[in-house]
């Protein structure tokens, strides 16, 4: 049964802002678990115990104070949730004067408890979906067991065909994710779960790519407005539900590219990047060592080369973007050629250096 100890203090503080009278909360045995007067904590309140036993409101008069243990003038009422009493709420004062507050006091208490229970239930379901998605992507559970768990969680395996990953750079709580689900326009059945400390994973129903792009752009803008922080988004290819782990890996690759290109990336649109990600790390390191290693300690030269390779326009226009003179850029490019032993006018050398720069930016 629900433990009122968790919410008792919050109830007392909330009611203190509504009424002047002192409020207490006791457990089912009449033990005071929340009150502003700390000296009465954990003491026995016989009036609360009687109210709990009889499941009735009890008016404690001045005469009753002399007969009952640990009580003061006031009214005590059982807190009832789903037809089950879980504790007692009390308000001090002359019963005839405070009677008008009694129902308010109990109503506020029951609303607090009901909301807390509902939130716990929602969070439990949310965490179960998170565990399910983790197992779907990271373990080799049987198709039958996956389908059974999906059914229990109201997830239709025939509906979800694609995965997106959002790099958030911070961890969000469940309430934030619930808010995202309410404001998103991608699909009513979209699922969003947390992945690690700084990522969100989206299970996406079958919708046109153009509609998905618009929905993700809208969601990105809304996250930016709320958090004041831009996010990166990568999207995996369409696949069957039980092949979504593949879509997830593709989305993780795409979100890395998204961070560099500062736009939403669909994995199926990747070309050279797909090749880079398929090359083992040690091979990439060796290739960089044989190509642009001398530039790694020259940040300015490396940056100038990267801009020259990626930006369109004349030498003069690129120099202006770098805020240097055209002759300075020309000098630096010549220096790079000498350091690397290459000719930037040679297509083979140019392709090699371009590949190295792109591979370096992936790291």
Domains detected in the chain? 5-121 (3.30.450.40), 157-276 (3.30.70.270), 284-362 (1.10.10.2840)
For the stretch 84-119, pLDDT in tens is 888 999 999 999 888 888 888 888 888 888 888 888
| Beta carbons within 8 Å of 332's beta carbon, 6+ residues apart | 300, 301, 304
- Band of the pLDDT at 180, cuts 50, 70, 90? very high
140 pLDDT higher than 90? no
- Band of the pLDDT at 2, cuts 50, 70, 90? low
- Band of the pLDDT at 61, cuts 50, 70, 90? very high
Instruction: State which H helix or E strand residue 146 sits in.
Output: helix 143-152
Angle at 11 between CA 9 and CA 16, to 5 degrees: 95
- Band of the pLDDT at 336, cuts 50, 70, 90? very high
- Band of the pLDDT at 363, cuts 50, 70, 90? low
For the stretch 225-256, pLDDT in tens is 999 989 999 999 999 999 999 999 999 989 98
201 pLDDT higher than 90? yes
Mean pLDDT of 128-141: 93
Longest dimension (CA), the chain: 105
Query: d(Cα 200, Cα 255) in Å, to the nearest integer?
Result: 11
Q: What is the pLDDT of residue 141?
A: 85
Closest CA to 178 of 138, 221, 226: 226
Closest CA to 176 of 217, 226, 216: 226
Mean pLDDT of 316-340: 93
Give the rounded distance of the alpha carbon of 56 from its chain centre.
44
Q: How many CB atoms lie within 10 A of CB 175?
A: 12
Query: d(Cα 10, Cα 115) in Å, to the nearest integer?
Result: 13
DSSP string, 217-277: HHHHHHHHHHHS---EEEEPPP--GGGHHHHHHHHHHHHHHHHHHTS-EEGGG-SHHHHHH
Q: What is the pLDDT of residue 324?
A: 93
Burial class (CB in 10 A: 0-12, 13-18, 19+), 254: buried
Burial class (CB in 10 A: 0-12, 13-18, 19+), 154: exposed
360 pLDDT higher than 60? yes
For the stretch 302-325, pLDDT in tens is 999 999 988 877 888 999 989 999
Higher pLDDT among residues 271 and 314, named by residue: 314
Mean pLDDT of 144-171: 93
- Residue 44 near residue 66 (C-beta atoms within 8 A): no
- Band of the pLDDT at 358, cuts 50, 70, 90? confident
Q: How many CB atoms lie within 10 A of CB 282?
A: 8
Q: To which residue do tokens 């029951």 refer? A: 110
The pLDDT mean for the chain works out to 90
Q: What is the pLDDT of residue 101?
A: 84
| Beta carbons within 8 Å of 282's beta carbon, 6+ residues apart | none
Query: d(Cα 241, Cα 350) in Å, to the nearest integer?
Result: 43
**Coil/strand/helix, residue 283:** helix
Mean pLDDT of 29-40: 90
Percent of the chain scoring above 70 in pLDDT: 98
Query: d(Cα 48, Cα 46) in Å, to the nearest integer?
Result: 5
Query: d(Cα 311, Cα 277) in Å, to the nearest integer?
Result: 23
- Residue 153 near residue 132 (C-beta atoms within 8 A): yes
Higher pLDDT among residues 359 and 56, named by residue: 56
Angle at 70 between CA 65 and CA 75, to 5 degrees: 60
Q: To which residue do tokens 């996250």 refer? A: 223
Q: What is the pLDDT of residue 108?
A: 85
- Residue 108 near residue 15 (C-beta atoms within 8 A): yes
């Amino acid at each position: 049964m629900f433990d009122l100890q968790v919410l008792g203090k919050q109830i007392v503080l909330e009611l203190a802002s509504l009424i002047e009278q002192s409020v207490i909360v006791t457990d089912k045995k009449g033990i005071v678990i929340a009150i502003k007067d700390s000296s009465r904590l954990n003491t026995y309140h016989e009036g609360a115990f009687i109210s709990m036993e009889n499941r009735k409101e009890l008016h404690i008069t001045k005469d009753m104070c002399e007969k009952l243990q640990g009580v003061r003038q006031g009214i005590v009422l059982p807190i009832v949730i789903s037809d089950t009493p879980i504790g007692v709420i009390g308000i001090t004062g002359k019963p005839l004067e405070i009677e008008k507050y009694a129902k308010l006091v109990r109503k506020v208490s029951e609303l607090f408890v009901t909301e807390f229970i509902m939130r716990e239930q929602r969070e439990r379901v949310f965490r179960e979906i998170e565990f399910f998605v983790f197992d779907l992507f990271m373990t080799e559970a049987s198709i039958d067991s996956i389908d059974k768990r999906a059914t229990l969680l109201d997830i239709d395996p025939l509906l979800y065909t694609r995965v997106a990953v959002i790099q958030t750079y911070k961890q969000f709580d469940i309430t934030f994710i619930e808010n995202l689900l309410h404001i998103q326009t991608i699909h009513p059945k979209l699922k969003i779960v947390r992945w690690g400390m700084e990522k969100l994973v989206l299970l996406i129903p079958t919708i046109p790519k153009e509609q998905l792009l618009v929905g993700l752009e809208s969601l990105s803008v809304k996250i930016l407005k709320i958090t004041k922080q831009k996010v990166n988004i990568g999207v995996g290819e369409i696949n069957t539900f039980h092949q979504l782990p593949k879509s997830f890996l593709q989305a993780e690759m795409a979100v890395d590219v998204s961070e560099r290109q500062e736009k939403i990336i669909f994995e199926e649109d990747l070309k050279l990047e797909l090749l880079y990600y398929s090359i083992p790390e040690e091979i990439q390191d060796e290739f960089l060592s044989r190509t642009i290693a001398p530039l790694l300690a020259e940040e300015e030269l490396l940056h100038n080369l990267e801009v020259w390779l990626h930006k369109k326009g004349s030498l003069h226009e690129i120099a202006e973007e770098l805020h240097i003179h055209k002759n300075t850029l020309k000098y630096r490019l010549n220096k790079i050629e000498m350091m690397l032993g290459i000719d930037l006018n040679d297509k083979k050398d140019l392709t090699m250096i371009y590949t190295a720069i792109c591979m370096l930016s992936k790291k």
